[in-house]
Structure 1
Amino acid sequence: MREPVELRRQRILSVVESRGAVKVSVLAAELDVSVVTVRRDVEELARVGRLRRGHGVARPIRDPVPPSAVPVPRGEEAAEDAGAVALVVPERHSYLYETLHGARSVLEDSGIRIALHIAPPSPGAERPLVERALADGARGLLIAPRWPSARSEELDYGWLADVGVPTVLMERRPRPGSALHALDSVCSDHWYGTHLAVDHLVSLGHRRIVLAARDDSPTARSIRAAFAEIAAARPEVEDWTVVLSSPEAAAEPRGSAPAADGRAALDLAALLRERGATGAVLHGDVDALMLVQRLAESGVEVPRDCSVVAYDDVVAALGSTPLTAVAPPKAEIGRAAAELLLRRLSAAFGDGGPVRRTELLPTLEVRGSAQGPPLPRN
C-alpha cells in the first residue's frame, strides 16, 4: 500500500529536524521513493514554511544546534569534500560510454563529483587505475572491467573484492560462487535479448539461423551461450551455428592482424549458402554493419536474401540498411548502478541492505532488416 502523502512529509520533517541539512537524494533513498517525489514534497513543505529548501538540500527552519557543533554526515552536504566516485570503463567502448553517461547524470544530480578513468586494452589495466583512485580519496567505485576472457575475469576477482569502498559492477555478472558473487551489480539480461532476436526471426518463418558474434567480453560470452541454448531448444529451428564475427572479435588474439594468427575475415555469404541459412544475428553493431556491406558485395541483399538482427544498437540504425537490433538498456544500467551506489554511500541507509544483483531487460528495435525468408528458387 502506498504511504499517505502527509505521513511521508512528516517523516521528511522528522529527519530534517533531527539531523539538520539533508540531501534530497538521501531522503529519497531512506524513504524508498523517487527523488522527484521527495523534491516535490520538500517544495511544498518549504512553501508552507515548515522547512527551508536549498540547492538539492532540505534544511530545518532553525538549526537544532550550532552548525559547527555537528559533523556533516558523509553523503550529505559534504559530498564534494568527501571524495569523488571513481568511474572506470574500457577505452574505445561506445556501448559502455552510454552506460557511463547514465551513471554520470545520477551522480551529478546528487552533487557527487566523478573521477573518470579510462582503462587501456592491456591485461590487468583496471587495477592500477582503481588503486590510484583510492589513493586520491575515492569513496565509491563504479566499474565495467573489460574482461576479454574468462581467465582475465578470474584474475580480477581477488583484488576487486577487497577494494574497501562501496563498489557496483556495471554490465558485468561475475561467475556464481566467485569472490565477486556477493558484490552489487547491474546488468542487462542478455539471455532475454538473445531470445528476442531468435524469436523475431523464427516468427518471420526462418528455420536456419547463424550467429556471428564477438568472443572478447562477458556480454559476448553470454550472447553466444544463450544463442546455443535457445536455438537448440526451439523445435522450429532446423539448423544453427555460431561463428566469430571478425578476426579481431576473439579474446586476447595472438597477433594484431588476421594473417598473424591464422584467422581470415568471415565470409558470411559463403556460410549462409553452406548452411542454407536465411537469418542471422550479428554482434556487435560495427561488425554487423561491415558484414552486411560484405554480403552486398557478394550479391546477398538484406533483407531480400538474408534477414539480419544486430545486437547492441549503438550504430545499427545508421547503416545504408538500418538494422533491426536488440537494444540493451545501456544508459539505464548506468543510472541504476549509480542509484545503488548512492544507497551504499548514504549514512542514513546504514550498510545499504542486502546485496543486489539487478538485471534490466533489453528491447527489440524493429527497422526492417528482417522479413520472411525468400521463396525457394526453381
Structure 2
Amino acid sequence: MTQEAPLPSERRARLIARVRETGSARVSDLSRVLGVTPVTVRRDLALLVAEGTLEKVHGGARIPARGTGTNGGSGSGGGLGARTGASTGVPLPEGMFAGDDERPTIGMVVPSLDYYWPEVIRGARAAAHDTARLILRGGSYDVDQIRHQLAALVSDDGGPGVDGLLVAPPVDGPDATDLADWLAGLDLPVVLMERRLVGGPYREPLESVATDHALGSGTAARHIAERGHRRVGLVTSRTSPHSAAVRRGFLAAAADLEFDVVLDLETDPLAGAEWATDAATVLDECTETGVTAVLVHSDREAISLVELARERGMRVPTDLAVVAYDDEVAALADPPLTAVSPPKAAIGAAAVELLTRRLADADRPVHRIELSSRLIVRASSGD
C-alpha cells in the first residue's frame, strides 16, 4: 500500500525534531530521513530560517543559539540576509547554496545547440558558476523530443535528480498544451526561456524570461523609416516561434509611422527545401512592388538574400536596404548587416537567477521577466 506523503506542517515538525536530535543536520541527511527531495528540504529550511526557528549553517541547519535569531538580536544568525540580485531584488537566505555538494542541480533543455541558443547557454553557465550545477540537454522543436529529454532529467530511475528545470518548449498546438500542463504539475520549479505558457487546471502562467521580440522588430521598422524608406518588406521564418511577435511588432510600427508594408512573406529556413524558391519570390516581389528596404528573420536568410540580390545586379543598400533579426553572424556579412540583437546571454543568466530564487523561496510570486533587444546599425541599411 502506498504511504501518503506528510503534510508540509508535519514534515517541517519532523525536520525540526531531527535537527534538535542531532544538534545540526545537513540537507542530504534531512532529505534521506524525511524521504523528500533536497529541493523540498531547502524550501522548508528557507521558511524555518526566515521565521527564526532554525539557523542556517554551511550545507544544513541548526537550532539558533539563545539571542541570535534571525528577527533581531546580536550574533551572526542566518535568515534572510543581504545577498540580493539586482534584477529582482528578492533576497536569498545566506549560505543557501554555499557548498558544492549542496548546490542545486539545474536541468537545461534547449531546442538547438548550434544557433541562437549557445549564447543563452553561456549566459546560464556564467550565472550558475557559484550557485548551481548545470546539466545541459539538446532537444529540438518537437514536443515529444523535448518531453523525452525533460523526463530523463527528472526521472527517479537513473536520472540525475535535478532540483529545477530551464526549458524552451514548443508553444503551439495541443501537444504543446499537454506539455505545459505536465510542466506545471511537476514537483519542482520550472522557468521557461524565450517562451510564455500557461498550464494546470487554472491556466496559470509558468515562470519565464523572454525577449520582447515585437518591440525589437518595431525598432527595426523605425530605423528603416528614419532612413526614408516608405515601401518596405518583411520576411519571417515559418518555423520560428518568434516570427509571430516579430511580425506583430513590425506591422504595428509601420501603421504608427504610416509607411507601406507591401511585402509580407513567410519562408522556409535556409536549410529548408523551399528556401531557394522562397528567396527568389522575395526578390521578384521587391522588384515588382518597389520595395527599397526589408527586415529579414533571421541572419542566415538575410545573408543568403543579399548574395542572391547581388547575383541579380541589385546593390545593397543602394537598391535594397537589409536589416536582419537575431544578430548571430550579421556582422560577418558583406556588407555587414544592421541587425536586431536579442539579449541572449541575459536570458540565460536571468533564467538561472529566477530558478535559484524560486528554490530559496517557494512562496514568492510568479515572475515573468521581459527583456529588450537592441538595434546595431551597420552598412547594410545605408548611411
TM range (shorter): 0.7 to 0.9
CA deviations on 1:234-272 (whole Å, 9 max, x unpaired) are 22x0343311233668xxxxxx7339xxx9332232111
Q: How far apart are 1:228 and its partner, in Å?
A: 2.6
Secondary structure (helix, strand or coil) at the match of 1:224 reads helix
Q: Percent identity?
A: 34
Match of 1:211 among 189, 214, 234: 234
Secondary structure (helix, strand or coil) at the match of 1:353 reads coil
Structure of higher RCO (CA pairs closer than 8 Å, 6+ residues apart): 1
1:158 and 1:200, CA in 2 relative to 1: closer, same or farther beyond 3 A?
A: same
Contact 1:89–1:146 (Cα < 8 Å) also in 2:
no
1:142 and 1:151, CA in 2 relative to 1: closer, same or farther beyond 3 A?
A: same
1:207 and 1:363, CA in 2 relative to 1: closer, same or farther beyond 3 A?
A: same
Q: How far apart are 1:30 and its partner, in Å?
A: 5.2
Match of 1:257 among 267, 273, 277: 273
> How far apart, in 1, do the equivalents of 2:201 and 2:253 lie?
26
Greater CA drift, 239-248 or 117-126:
239-248
Secondary structure (helix, strand or coil) at the match of 1:322 reads coil
> How far apart, in 2, do the equivalents of 1:87 and 1:355 lie?
19
> How far apart, in 2, do the equivalents of 1:134 and 1:344 lie?
17
Match of 1:129 among 130, 134, 149: 149
Contact 1:311–1:327 (Cα < 8 Å) also in 2:
yes
Residue equivalent to 1:202: 225
Match of 2:357 among 305, 327, 343: 343
Is residue 103 of structure 1 aligned with residue 124 of structure 2? yes
Is residue 89 of structure 1 aligned with residue 127 of structure 2? no
Q: How far apart are 1:352 and its partner, in Å?
A: 5.0
CA deviations on 1:65-122 (whole Å, 9 max, x unpaired) are xxxxxxxxxx524553565210000134521221111011111221x21111111344
1:304 and 1:28, CA in 2 relative to 1: closer, same or farther beyond 3 A?
A: farther
Alignment of 1:4-23 (within 5 A): 18-21=55-58
Residue equivalent to 1:76: 97
Q: How far apart are 1:29 and its partner, in Å?
A: 8.2
1:18 and 1:160, CA in 2 relative to 1: closer, same or farther beyond 3 A?
A: closer
CA RMSD of aligned residues (A): 3.2
Which one-letter code corresponds to 1:363 in the other structure?
Answer: R
Which one-letter code corresponds to 2:325 in the other structure?
Answer: Y
Residue equivalent to 2:210: 187
> How far apart, in 2, do the equivalents of 1:80 and 1:186 lie?
28
> How far apart, in 2, do the equivalents of 1:183 and 1:104 lie?
22
Contact 2:180–2:199 (Cα < 8 Å) also in 1:
no
1:18 and 1:157, CA in 2 relative to 1: closer, same or farther beyond 3 A?
A: closer
Secondary structure (helix, strand or coil) at the match of 1:280 reads strand
TM-score, normalization by structure 1: 0.72
Which one-letter code corresponds to 2:267 in the other structure?
Answer: S
Is residue 266 of structure 1 aligned with residue 279 of structure 2? yes
Q: How far apart are 1:207 and its partner, in Å?
A: 0.6
Secondary structure (helix, strand or coil) at the match of 2:248 reads helix
Is residue 286 of structure 1 aligned with residue 300 of structure 2? yes
Contact 1:284–1:312 (Cα < 8 Å) also in 2:
yes
> How far apart, in 2, do the equivalents of 1:105 and 1:29 lie?
24
1:77 and 1:238, CA in 2 relative to 1: closer, same or farther beyond 3 A?
A: closer
Q: How far apart are 1:334 and its partner, in Å?
A: 0.6
Residue equivalent to 2:165: 141
CA deviations on 1:146-182 (whole Å, 9 max, x unpaired) are 44x4555334222121122111001112269996642
> What is the aligned residue count?
305
Secondary structure (helix, strand or coil) at the match of 1:185 reads strand
CA deviations on 1:179-210 (whole Å, 9 max, x unpaired) are 66421100111111011100000011001111
Which one-letter code corresponds to 1:85 in the other structure?
Answer: I
Is residue 324 of structure 1 aligned with residue 375 of structure 2? no
Residue equivalent to 1:306: 320
Residue equivalent to 2:376: 365
Residue equivalent to 1:118: 138
Contact 1:89–1:97 (Cα < 8 Å) also in 2:
no
Which one-letter code corresponds to 1:134 in the other structure?
Answer: V
Residue equivalent to 1:252: none
Contact 2:218–2:252 (Cα < 8 Å) also in 1:
no
> How far apart, in 2, do the equivalents of 1:365 and 1:196 lie?
10
> How far apart, in 2, do the equivalents of 1:282 and 1:28 lie?
51
TM-score, normalization by structure 2: 0.71
1:211 and 1:285, CA in 2 relative to 1: closer, same or farther beyond 3 A?
A: same
> How far apart, in 1, do the equivalents of 2:57 and 2:226 lie?
59
Contact 2:111–2:141 (Cα < 8 Å) also in 1:
yes
CA deviations on 1:325-353 (whole Å, 9 max, x unpaired) are 0001000011111111110112xx3x251
